[in-house]
Structure formats: structure tokens, C-alpha cells
Chains A and B, each alone.
Chain A
Amino acid sequence: MKAVTTLAGIGAFTRRKLVVLGQLARFFMQLLMRCGVIFQRPRLTVQQVHFIGNYSLIIIAVSGLFVGFVLGLQGYYTLNRYGSEEALGLLVALSLTRELGPVVTALLFAGRAGTSLTAEIGLMKAGEQLSAMEVMAVDPIRRVLAPRFLGGVIAMPILAAVFSMVGIIGGWVVGVLLIGIDSGAFWSQMQNGVDVFNDVLNGVIKSVVFGVAVTLIALFEGWQCKPTPEGVSRATTRTVVAGSLVVLGLDFVLTALMFSN
């Protein structure tokens, strides 16, 4: 009897997960079909870019600067053993544009912007504002969710690019100003090794994918949460956990597709 119960448990678990996956896919389609709101009411999206992007800028820039500092110090430690300190610029630029820029930005983005989106939507739902909109024949997905989705998708690549730029400057500060690597060699090695399409463009594509994934998960958790204080807090936690895991998983898949030749 016990074995049957366990089996039934596994079945129910799988079914629940599949249902959530299906709901997520439907939610994504609903959002995409209402993306025309960016042309009909562009101001809504602009407000969200401001809320999601501008307010995340400080934490992204500071993190990028320190990641660049640390890359400079650690990279120098290893490269110095082989007498090729000049390659520090290349190391910093490649790690930032290919991996760290998009991934760390997406993780911070999930923590900084994703949680606020989930909490906002969840509290709107708890306060029955979304239901009230429907009563007034205003489509809440079109009026509330789609602008936030577009705002996140627009803000994320910009934040990732800023992160990479600030990180490279941080690596330059440590490598050239503090340690004393030749500035010309630092930049020329970087320019010889970093390809615009292979490295920079693929990094941008990654950041767009992460932006879609994190924003979608944040909005979905808020949209699906239980309309209670506990439900909202759980949904916010799930946004960070699920968002971060999805970013790391997608990063592996994208890296394997883009850079494995």
C-alpha cells in the first residue's frame, strides 16, 4: 500500500509541475500578444523602464566596478606566473562580455527588480485591484503586466552592457593604475582578442534572453500568488530562487550553443 502511495505522490508532483509549466507558457503568450501596448501607450513602458532600469543602475554599476577590480587582482595573480600580465585586459574583457556581465546582472536584476515586480503585482492582486480593473473592462495584463514585461526586457541588456563597461574600467584601474601594466598592451591585447560578433553580440543576446526569463518569472509569480501576505512573501522568494536557477541553467545552454563551435 505504501509503495502505491509513494507512486501516486510522484505522479501528483509531476502533474502539478506540468500544470505550472503550461500556465507559464500560456501567460507568456498572453503577454506577447499584448505587447502592442508599447506603441499604443508608450508612456506606460517608459515609466516601467524608469522604475526597473534607472533604479537598478547604482547597484549594477557598483557591482560591476568591484567585479572588475577583483578580476584584475585575481587575473594578475595567475597571469603573473606565466609572465603574461599584458593579457589581463583580454581576460577581464572576455570574462565580462561573455559570461559575468549578462549572468551577474541577471542575478542582481532578479533580486533588485524581479522581487519588486512580484511584490507589486501580488499586492495589487491581494488588494483586488486587478479584479476591479477587470470589472471596469480594463485588461490588467495589457494595462499592468505587459508594460512591466517590456520595461524589464528593455532595461536588462542596457544594465548588462553598463555592467561590462564599468567592469572593464575597474579591471583597467587595478591593472594599469595600481599594478602598473602597460596601458597600450592592456587595450591592444583586448582588441585583438575580443570579437564584436562572437563575444560582444552573443553577450547582448544572452542578456536579452535573461531579461525575458527573469521578468516573465517575476510577473508570473506575482500573477499566480495567493492573495495573502504570506502568499506574496512566498511568491517573492520564489522569484529570486527560480529566476536565479533559470538564469544559470539558460546560461549553460546558451554558452554551449554559442561558444562550442
Chain B
Amino acid sequence: MSNHKIDVWVGLFVLLGIIALVFLALRAGNLSSFSFAETYAVQAKFDNIGGLKVRAPVKSAGVVVGRVADIRFDDQTYQANVTFNIDKAFEFPSDTSASILTSGLLGEQYIGLDAGGDDLMLASGDSITLTQSAVVLEQLISQFLYGTAEKEGAAD
């Protein structure tokens, strides 16, 4: 085989490898969800974050507006301190509330933002004070069980 032909075949081979890597990164992986748009960081304290993970989405009205950047435990207040980046294109009032929600019954957890009515907008480094923790299924079930037991007791 002539050298030129070999070059063509090797070129095709390498190209196929690059296509495969791009496929793995974009179609199978989450590279397409990386945005290089500028963001601003906002903090929020939660009593319980459940199974929230770094890089979990931050959604408002179901639309992804940012990602969780950092999760730390604050040993002064015994709360979880969550930092998340919001896309610069979206502005939220400073009295926006953040809650940890689950997509579906067993799906991944994300932060949901509900916009408030303040004229002041959140800026980089601000913190959200109105927060709602993750719903822990075990606590919910035990509350329900104790509730029904009490009702049964009252009825007797």
C-alpha cells in the first residue's frame, strides 16, 4: 500500500476516535450541560440537604438556571452551607426562596428557586435566607404513622 493511502486510512482512524470521544462527552456525558457563560455565586443554608450533590442543577420554574458549586457543613449553626452559581443572564429578587426538591419519586435532587417580589436583585456573594430543607421520606412516614396512631388513640 502506498504511503499516501496509509495516511488517509490513519487519518480516518484518528478521526473516528475523535468522533467517539466527542460522542461520549456530549451524547453520553454531561459536557453539553457545562456552560461557559458568566455566573454569580449565591449561598443558602439548609437544615438538611438530603442527597444533594455538587453539580446538581438549580432550577426555577423547572428550567435550569445554575449549578451547585460547593457544599459545606457549618459547625456554628449545624447547618449545611450550599454555594451555587446562577447564570448572569438570570436575575432574582433578593427575597427569593430556595428549596431542595426531588425530580420524581426517586430521582436526583435539585435546588428550586421561587422568585420573591423585592426590587433589589441578588448579587454575587449574597445569601438566600428563606430556605426549605429536603423532604426525608423516613421522617415523613414516621410522622404519618405517629399521626394515625394518635388519631386512633383519640377515637377510643
Q: Footprint of B on A, CB under 8 Å? A: 43, 46-47, 49-50, 53-54, 57, 84, 93, 97, 155, 157-159, 161-162, 164-165, 168, 187, 190-192, 194-196, 199-200, 203-204
Contact = CB atoms under 8 A, between A and B. Distances in A.
Given A46-B7, A46-B10, A53-B13, A187 B21 contact: no
Interface in B1-60: 3, 6-7, 9-10, 12-14, 16-17, 19-21, 23-25, 27-34, 55
A49 B10 contact: yes
Interface of B: 3, 6-7, 9-10, 12-14, 16-17, 19-21, 23-25, 27-34, 55, 106, 108
Task: Say what secondary structure dominates the interface of chain B.
Answer: helix
A97 B55 CA distance: 20
Contact of B20 (A50, A93, A161, A194): A161
B13 A200 contact: no
B35 to A, nearest CB: 13
Contact of B30 (A165, A191, A203): A191
Given A93-B28, A187-B27, A158 B16 contact: yes
A54 B9 contact: yes
Nearest to B14: A158
B25 A158 contact: no
B103 to A, nearest CB: 9
Contacts of A161: 17, 20-21, 24
Given A161-B20, A195-B55, A200-B29, 13 more contacts: A43-B3, A57-B16, A155-B13, A161-B21, A164-B24, A164-B28, A168-B23, A190-B28, A196-B29, A199-B29, A200-B24, A203-B24, A204-B21
B13 A49 contact: yes
Instruction: Report the 8 A-B pairs with minimum CB-CB distance, sorted nearest first.
Output: A158-B17, A161-B20, A165-B20, A196-B29, A93-B28, A196-B31, A194-B29, A162-B20
Contacts of A199: 29
A153 to B, nearest CB: 13
A70 B119 CA distance: 57
Nearest to A151: B10
Given A46-B7, A164-B24, A195 B29 contact: yes
Contacts of B9: 50, 54
Contacts of A194: 28-30
Contacts of A50: 6, 9-10, 13
25 contacts: A46-B7, A53-B10, A54-B12, A54-B13, A84-B106, A93-B28, A97-B24, A155-B13, A157-B17, A158-B20, A161-B20, A162-B17, A165-B23, A165-B24, A168-B27, A168-B28, A191-B27, A191-B29, A191-B30, A191-B32, A192-B108, A196-B25, A196-B30, A200-B25, A200-B29
B33 to A, nearest CB: 7
Nearest to B33: A191
Nearest to A159: B17
Contacts of B7: 46
Nearest to A93: B28
Contacts of B16: 57, 158, 162
Nearest to A166: B20
B30 to A, nearest CB: 5
Nearest to B17: A158
B13 A158 contact: yes
Contacts of B10: 46, 49-50, 53-54
A159 B7 CA distance: 18
